Chains A and B, each alone.
Chain A
Amino acid sequence: MSERRGRIGFVPARYGDKIVGGAEIVLRQMAFGLQERGWDVEVLTTTALDHHGWANELPAGVADEGGMRVHRFTVDPGGSPERAELEARILRGERLTITEQQRWMNGGMRSPELYHYLLDHADDYRALVFTPYPFWVTYACSQVAPSRSVLWTCLHDEPYAYLELFQPVFSGVAGLLFQSGPEQDLAERVAPSLAPHAVVGCGVEVPDHYDPEGFRERYGIEGPFLLYAGRREGGKGWDDLLAALARIDERRGLPFSVVTMGAGEVRPPERLRGRVIDVGFLPDDERDNAFAAATAYVQPSRFEAFSRTIMEAWLAGTPVIANAGSEVVAWHCERSGAGLTYDDEYELEQCLAFLADAPEQAAAMAVSGRAYVLDNYRWDLVLDRVEERIEQWTVAP
């Protein structure tokens, strides 16, 4: 039985109910979840909301935000001219010296005020939970009090993960929380001397009901559609997906429109113009309705530590079509039996052909997805595991 002693500080680089970003959303839900269970919880974050420009948008200081005590600190957006060049070299897989890696890290967004707050007050907290690993706030601030630092790691198989810079973080904090077996496997490959770690999964809200027809009506959407939710960014595979869909449409005709929600510029190719519908940032209930209304949810990203969106699709009874390059998503699809994966454009094309040719079979395939989510990723189950690990890895002040 958890005693729930000591304060837990959640330390995301940005925080808010409008943030689009899996790690930040989950951390927020986890913070509220633990608070509801009786933990003394606080959020320590910056005044920035946008992870591209890191502008100081909100006032610094302490405020109650929807029932959560949030302490915000100003941010230096950084952006040294050299950083973009170093970043490009990292992404090309070049080996950077440790000095260059440090310049890359410190050349971007920083928050000295948050850092010094932790320097002064880290001992007031039992645990400080950071996410995601490549952000300066996680990298720098988790080292202020490593024995209290827990990472919601969000590790992807990406060039950053292999930087020497992060080795002490992966090996030296109080603990690493992973969302899936493949994420843990990756961490063990990347850092042979891992800090204490555990797979705890990731919590997903289970909606009470869905209103797919209402969603179609409110947004004027007719006919079958593919859904994509999240950041519309190259790194998430969004641009590649649109380009592939355009080519598939050219080859065989695409019997679906594309609906997307989230943040970022949509930029559809000319061939798909008018068939890509951006519904923007949706409230939670309308988001759930969109999942239920979709013919299939498409996850084109190769860099997923968990992919909450595929869970939301399965909860809604919607099949998933996913990029097999993401070990995590492929792992979920195999375990649940409720999703198909593709390794190239032609496999994607065949996945879409299956949806079009056998919609009943596709819907039947998706049924097992809901049970998979309910059996593994309900918030109460995940919070049990998180509490257990925090109490195991940290000591109440």
Chain B
Amino acid sequence: MVSPYPPLRDGIAAYALQSVRALRAEGHDVEVLSPGPSAAHHHLDLVGPRGALALAKRVRGYDRLVVQFHPDFFYPIGASPTQRAAVSAALAAAFRLAPHVEVVVHEIDYRHGAGASPAALAARALWQQVDRVTVHSESERTAFVDAFGVRPDRVHVTEHGAAFVPHTHLDRAAARRSLGIDQDAFVFLSIGFVQPHKGYDRAVRAFQGLPAPARLDVVGSVRVEEPQFVAYAEELAELAADVPGATLHLGFVSDELFDRWLIASDVVVLPYREIWSSGVVERARLFERPVIATRVGALAEQTAGMPDVRLVSSDAELRDAMWEAAGHPRHGLDAGPWPSADEGRAAIQAAVVERAAAMRGGPVASGTATDATTVRDRARATAPLRRVGEVHLPDPGHGRGMRVLARKVVRRLTGWQLQPVVDHVNALTRATAEAVDRTTSGGEGSTRTGR
């Protein structure tokens, strides 16, 4: 098994460990090689052609070579096409020497198989050497076959959580005690590495305004200390600090602690902006915790048939789902009496603004004239920005036919590149609106603390 491995804390490492445990329980003699020192039997720097060739020297002694594949294990980050071609060729040589090669694909860039460039040809040649490719969804399977020209019968779909076992025996009460959570709290949990594409800020915004005993715990660490990841974590911490009931627990999370948080939770919230497939969904399923997740990547396929998973397509839907889960359905907010006509149009307009702000995740006025005015003023200040609306990729449509198929293919091939831009534009819009909102409230300290 070639993979990152515990005690290194990493999603693929945890996945590999469970696979190793399952294979050994079946009676297989399994040895592990990891990219750095770990509990694996061997370790080797696998990056670059030299890494692949070093791997080639070791594979012949094994009956089966199982590779947990992520491009970063083998290809230098930001590799040029020439470098990619060299790595692919070296990896192909290594795979050719192994009697039987299985690769579990955790992430891959399908573009690298397209066209007739040397890099693309090398990539396709590499994957021809693999006896069995495993992916986690049918759409990944289709895309993989299309991109790399691998025979479909060699590409298999496996349930992400097929080999998962619990890492804790605690029940919910004990898990909550250990984490300092009240037994009567309603706990939303977003857990995993803190990175922009995980979208935890969306969960915090959606949660904003929910009253106690609801709470949102965002739990994870920064996987790589890249400036943009660190900056995101800092922004997330600032955002959470401003939302009563939301807490960012930034720190190292072991497998056991990961499961303990899951057990302690009521609903797992995965507001991903991008994802291939989610191990967290599988672990939540292991503990029978309901999940609210965004409809991105192959999550729809992965969660098909999982009754406890609710997929949402927008921030508004995310908010609705979370509020409903906590027992505050949207209609509950709308259910209060409106101002009467006798109170005047201004009062009604103020109520409109206030309720809209609450739905959006903004401040909720207590009902006094001053607060209502404040909310209205702030709403007016951010209105031009909010009017811009969110950007979304065009829907390719439904049904059959060449046109729909072509749109779907185009979206699949370009989505990985366009979606981050779309998300970033939306994030910028939100951030700007929030900045204006804060400026407006600068002289109205009581408004921010009063919500």
Q: Is the A/B pair a real complex?
A: yes
Write the residues of chain A forming the contact surface with B, with a CB cutoff of 8 angstroms. Answer: 76, 78, 80, 97-99, 101-103, 105-107, 110, 112-113, 115-116, 119-120, 136, 139-140, 143, 146-147, 164-165, 167-169, 171-173, 192-193, 195, 395
Q: Please tell me which one of the listed residues B8, B24, B256, B257 contacts residue A116 in the complex, with CB atoms under 8 A apart.
A: B24
The reply to whether A147 and B180 contact each other, CB–CB distance below 8 Å, is no
Residues of B in contact with A (beta carbons under 8 Å apart): 6-9, 17, 20-21, 24-25, 32, 36-41, 167-170, 178-180, 221-222, 224-225, 251-257, 260
- Indicate if the CB atoms of B257 and A192 lie closer than 8 Å: no
Chain A, Cβ-Cβ closest to B36: A106
Report whether B24 and A169 are in contact in the complex, using a CB–CB cutoff of 8 Å.
no
A146 touches which one: B32, B168, B224 (CB < 8 A)? Answer: B168
Contact B24 A119 (CB under 8 A): yes
**Residue in A78, A139, A147, A167 whose beta carbon sits within 8 Å of that of B251 in the complex:** A167
User: Looking at the complex, which one of A98, A136, A140, A172 makes contact with B260 (CB distance below 8 Å)?
Assistant: A172
- Complex alpha-carbon distance, A101 and B168, angstroms: 24
The answer to whether A106 touches B7, judged by C-beta atoms less than 8 angstroms apart, is yes
Q: List 15 A-B contacts (CB under 8 A).
A: A98-B9, A112-B41, A115-B39, A116-B41, A119-B24, A140-B6, A140-B39, A143-B7, A143-B255, A165-B252, A168-B252, A168-B256, A172-B257, A172-B260, A395-B169
Chain A residues with CB under 8 A of B256: 143, 146, 168, 172-173
- Determine which residue in A136, A139, A147 has the highest number of CB atoms from chain B within 10 A of its CB, and name it: A147
Residues of A within 8 A of B24 (CB): 116, 119-120
Q: Is the CB of A143 within 8 A of B252?
A: no
With A119-B21, A119-B24, A143-B254 in contact, do A102 and B8 touch (Cβ < 8 Å)?
yes
Question: Chain B interface mostly helix, strand, loop or mixed?
Answer: loop
Given the complex, which residues of B lie within 8 Å of A140, measured CB to CB? Answer: 6-7, 39
Cβ-defined contact, B167 with A146, below 8 A: yes
| B252 with A119: CB separation less than 8 A | no
- Cross-chain contact A120 with B169 (CB below 8 angstroms): no
**A164 near B252: Cβ-Cβ < 8 Å:** yes
The 9 closest A-B pairs by CB, nearest first: A168-B254, A172-B256, A147-B169, A115-B39, A146-B256, A140-B7, A106-B37, A168-B257, A112-B41
Rounded to whole angstroms, the CA-CA distance of A113 and B8 in the bound complex is 17
- Give bound CA distance, A101 to B41, whole Å: 21
Closest residue on chain B to residue A108 by CB atoms:
B37
- Residues of chain A within 8 A of B253, CB atoms compared: 168
Least Cβ distance of B211 to chain A in Å? 25
Q: Are B225 and A99 in contact (CB under 8 A)?
A: yes
Q: Say which residue of A76, A106, A120 sits within 8 Å of B8 (CB atoms).
A: A106
User: Given A80-B37, A110-B37, A119-B21, are A139 and B224 neighbors across the interface (CB < 8 Å)?
Assistant: no
Q: In the complex, what's the smallest C-beta–C-beta distance from B19 to chain A, in angstroms?
A: 11
Chain A residues with CB under 8 A of B17 = 119
Question: What separation, in Å, do the CA atoms of A164 and B222 have in the docked complex?
Answer: 13
Chain B residues with CB under 8 Å of A105's CB are 7
Report which of A97, A102, A136 forms a contact with B9, defined as CB distance below 8 A: A102
Measured between alpha carbons, how far is A385 from B265 in the docked complex, in Å?
Answer: 34
Point out the residue from B20, B222, B254 that lies within 8 Å of A172, measured CB to CB.
B254
A193 interface neighbour in B25, B40, B178, B255, Cβ under 8 Å: B178
Query: In the complex, how many angstroms separate the beta carbon of B145 from the nearest chain A beta carbon?
Result: 34
Residues on B with C-beta less than 8 A from A172 are 168, 254, 256-257, 260
| Other-chain residue from A101, A103, A116, A165 in contact with B39 (beta carbon distance below 8 A) | A116
* A112 engages B7 (CB within 8 Å): no
Which chain B positions have C-beta within 8 A of A146? 167-168, 254, 256
The smallest beta-carbon distance between B224 and chain A, in angstroms, is: 7
Q: Which A residues are CB-close (under 8 A) to B32?
A: 112
Q: Considering only CB atoms, which chain A residue lies closest to B167 in the complex?
A: A146
B254 touches A102 (CB 8 A): no
Interchain nearest-CB distance for B230 vs A (Å): 9
CA–CA, A192 and B25, complex, Å: 37
Tell me the bound Cα distance from A139 to B37 in angstroms.
14
Residues of A within 8 A of B224 (CB): 99
CB-based nearest A residue for B254: A168
In the complex, the chain B residue whose C-beta lies closest to that of A172 is B256
Determine the chain A residues whose CB is within 8 A of the CB of B167 once the complex forms: 143, 146
Chain B residue at minimum C-beta to C-beta distance from A395: B169
Provided the pairs A99-B224, A119-B21, A146-B168 are in contact, do residues A78 and B252 lie with their beta carbons within 8 angstroms?
no
Q: How far is the CA of A143 from the CA of B252 in the complex (A)?
A: 14
Given A119-B21, A119-B24, A172-B256: 7 more A-B contacts, CB < 8 Å: A102-B7, A106-B36, A112-B40, A120-B25, A143-B6, A167-B252, A172-B257
What is the bound-complex CA distance between A141 and B25, given in angstroms? 18
In the bound complex, residues from chain B placing their C-beta under 8 Å from that of A167 are 251-252, 257
- Which chain B positions have C-beta within 8 A of A171? 178, 257
Q: Across the interface, which residues of A come within 8 angstroms of B39, CB to CB?
A: 110, 112, 115-116, 140
Q: Name the B residues within 8 Å of A103 (CB-CB).
A: 36
What is the CA–CA distance of A103 and B34 in the complex, to the nearest angstrom? 13
A173–B260 Cα distance when bound, in Å, is 11
Alpha-carbon distance A102/B4, docked complex (angstroms): 13
CB distance from A69 to the nearest CB of B (A): 22
B254 adjacent to A169 (CB under 8 Å): yes
A397 CB to closest chain B CB (Å) equals 12
What's the least CB distance linking B90 to chain A, in Å? 25
**Minimum Cβ distance to chain A for residue B343 (Å):** 51
A residues less than 8 Å from B169 (CB atoms): 147, 395
**In the complex, what residues of A have CB within 8 A of residue B9's CB?**
98, 102
| Residues of A contacting B260 in the complex (Cβ-Cβ under 8 angstroms) | 172
Given contacts A78-B37, A112-B41, A193-B179, contact A98 B21 (CB under 8 A): no
Report the minimal beta-carbon distance from B319 to chain A, rounded to whole angstroms.
30
